[in-house]
Each structure stands twice: as structure tokens, then as C-alpha cells.
Structure 1
Amino acid sequence: MKCLWKLQKEPDSTWASTVNLLYGSRDIPTLLADGRTSAAFRDILHYNDFFSSSICNPGLPQQLTWKWSTTGEYSSASSYRILADPGMRSPYHILLWKIKAPPKVRIFLWLILLDRILTQQNLARRNWPSITSCQCCSEGCMETSVHLFVHCTFAKQIWTQLQIRFNLPLLAFTTDLPAFWLQNRQTIGPSWDIIWATSSWAIWKERNSRLFASNRLTASRLVVEICATIEVWKKMA
């Protein structure tokens, strides 16, 4: 938000001058259409809709005002208050942070639900070096979040074995991660939360182990570790 504000309100700032030098424009619609913009800059421009709805007098730098502060000047605090408003939170916000799991795991779960973890697909989107194919199966599929945690044959082996071990009803293998968690939660109940959390965390660690250390566990061995972890996490305060 601050970068977009400076781009419009402070045309002589170092940031605005640099953007103008690189792309020949400070006009946001023009920059959005420019294929030369970097991935990081496109991420900033992605918030233009919220920015546009938060300002008055666009196109008039001297008269530009920010709706969410009494002074009319942009502040990070006012932006945060609006973005963190309970009315703008996701429907699973409260459920997620109550799962019995270490804080780092709950943050990880939040990231996978938002599709922000660095799968091969997300690395490719950022133009970072990537292998693209999933390392947990031999099907040559693009490693997306939903593939890795839901549809990968390795992941399905784990979910199937857990289904048998905990006597769960048939799982719904949905096309997105939030639905995979919440739809199965509806049929299984809150006990699904910790199973889903520990299994997703274990799959991610196994994926990294295969990718960076060339170590591999079988699905059965990983399920044993998942069950042990569930018992430990259940005892967390």
C-alpha cells in the first residue's frame, strides 16, 4: 500500500522516480499491462483494487487523500486496521488457530490454504529455478499445493491408510485445499483437524527431504510417524 501511495502521491520520491525510469510510467493501469514488470512488482500491483477503493482524487497527486485516516495521509496502521477487520477474515480463520499444533505448523497451514508455500508451481511463477514435477510421485505432474497434499498418489496412500487406521468415512478429495479440510471436517468432526494438520506437515517435510536430502520414507512409515505426532500434539496445552 505504501509503495502504491508513494507512486501516486510522491512523484519525486526515489521509489516513484525509479519505477518511472525502469518502465517509463508511473500510471498503475499502464504498469499492470506492461509485461516487463518483475514478479515482485506485480505482487505490489496486485493490491491496486484495494488501493483504488481507498483513495480520493486519483490522478491528482496534490489532492490525493487516504480514506482510512483522519488526516487523509496514508499510514500503515490504518491500512492494517482495515485489512485485519474481522469482516474480511476467511471463514476458517478461527478454526485454524485453535488446532492443537505448534505455532509454526499453524502458520504453515495458513500458508498452504492461501497457496503461498514454495511449491514448484509457485517457484516457477516467481521465475525461480524449479524442477516443476512432483518429487513424491512418478507421474510427472506439476507440483501444485493441491496436487502435493491431496491428489498425489503418495498423499492418497497416506490419507487412505489414515482413513483405515482411524475408521474414518470416505474422504472427499476436493479440487482445493480449504475444501479438503472443511468438507471432510463436516463429515468427520473436529477430530479431523489434528489428523489433517499433522499429515500435511509430514507430507511437506517428506517432500523437502526427498528434494534436498534424497531421503525417502514409505507411506506406511510416514503414517506411523504421523500417528505418533498426533498423540504428542493432543497433549499440548
Structure 2
Amino acid sequence: MAEFVVLWERVQEVQFSDDPDKIIWKWTANGVYSSKSAYAIQFVGSYCTFNTSALWKAKAEGKHRFFAWLQVQAKIQTADNLLLKGIACDPEVWFLVREWTGGLITMPLPGVQVEEWWNLSLQAATAENRSKVAAILIYTGWNLWNERTEEFSRGLHNQLYEF
């Protein structure tokens, strides 16, 4: 009964406006519902949409390949939390990796999901370089993730320092 009274008091504090409600469907660009978008969103995340063969054939340790498989699907919880808090990877890192590999690695573009960037990076590579590119992406992602989560856990995420 006490919980009901507390709920009632909170509901009484809610201020409603006279403006009409506006319903926006977040699964389309224009905000309008369509059955096509409803069917499409029904299956998002239920199956893997990227070609995993390059990932599993990469010359990297199993734990790193497994990490990359989760990362490409946006299933790395800590990385997601860091992004939600506005702590993103400095693009300078990927510029240096691209320079170090002689342009073998493509830079991640703003707003591009990891899965799409993974696919674009591997499509740009020749057949003989795909496993090398995949390994570089995997190890770079692994090391960045480890460094960022470690510095976040130590409370250093707001401090500038050199690696």
C-alpha cells in the first residue's frame, strides 16, 4: 500500500503540456512507420550479417579473434559504455596504423559501424592480404580496448598522457 501512495504522489507531480503528442518511428530516417521497416528491425541482431571467414582465418590468437567477433557485432559491453560516456578512440591511432601499414588499413569514418568498417577494410585488401589486414585490425582493436578500459578503470580517462 505504501508503494502505491508513493507512486500516486509521483504521478500527481507530472506536468502535461497541451501540445499534441508526436509519434516518431525511430527505425526510419523520416520517422514514419512502414511495415517494411518493422520487418527489417525484427531481425536486427538475431543473425550475423558479415562474412566471418576472414576473421576466423586471421593470423591472430583465438581470444583475439573471439574479441573481434564480438566487437564487430557491437557486443563488447565496456566499449559500448565508453562510447555512451563520450569516450571514443582518438582517430590519430588509426592514422598511425594506416601509416605504419603503408595504407593497408582504411581509416574508420565517423558514424560508420564497426561491422561496416570491417567489411570495407577487407574489401579494399587483396585476397593475399586479407588475413594480414584482419589480424592488424584485430590486434589494434584488442590493444585499444585493453588500454581504454584499463585507463578508465584507473580513472585516467580525463587525463592526457602518452602511450
1:27-176 alignment, distance < 5 Å = 89-119=48-78, 121=80, 132-133=84-85, 141=86, 143=87, 148=88, 152=89, 154=90, 156-168=91-103, 171-174=106-109, 175-176=112-113
Q: Which has the higher helix share?
A: 1
Compared with structure 1, are the counterparts of its residues 120 and 112 closer, same or farther at alpha carbon in structure 2 (3 Å cutoff)? Answer: closer
1:169–1:188 CA contact under 8 A, matched in 2: yes
State the alpha-carbon separation in 2 of the partners of residues 131 and 164 from structure 1: 25
Compared with structure 1, are the counterparts of its residues 202 and 131 closer, same or farther at alpha carbon in structure 2 (3 Å cutoff)? Answer: closer
Q: Report the RMSD for the aligned CA atoms in angstroms.
A: 3.0
**SS of the residue 1:101 aligns to:** coil
Higher relative CO (Cα under 8 Å, sequence separation at least 6) belongs to: 2
- In the TM superposition, what whole-angstrom CA distance separates every residue of 1:146-185 from its partner, at most 9, and x where no partner exists? xx4xxx3x2x111111111221168242411012112122
Matched, 1:198 2:135: no
Stretches of structure 2 lacking an aligned partner (at least 5 in a row): 1-41
State percent identity of aligned pairs.
20
1:185–1:192 CA contact under 8 A, matched in 2: yes
2:114 counterpart residue number:
177
- Which contiguous aligned blocks of 4+ residues in structure 1 show a shift greater than 6 angstroms? none
Compared with structure 1, are the counterparts of its residues 212 and 183 closer, same or farther at alpha carbon in structure 2 (3 Å cutoff)? Answer: same
Compared with structure 1, are the counterparts of its residues 185 and 116 closer, same or farther at alpha carbon in structure 2 (3 Å cutoff)? Answer: same
TM-score using structure 1 length: 0.40
State the alpha-carbon separation in 1 of the partners of residues 134 and 63 from structure 2: 16
1:168–1:188 CA contact under 8 A, matched in 2: no
State the alpha-carbon separation in 2 of the partners of residues 188 and 169 from structure 1: 7
State the alpha-carbon separation in 2 of the partners of residues 163 and 131 from structure 1: 23
Structure 2 residue identity aligned to 1:90: T
Compared with structure 1, are the counterparts of its residues 195 and 205 closer, same or farther at alpha carbon in structure 2 (3 Å cutoff)? Answer: same
Report deviation, 1:91: 3.4
Compared with structure 1, are the counterparts of its residues 208 and 188 closer, same or farther at alpha carbon in structure 2 (3 Å cutoff)? Answer: same
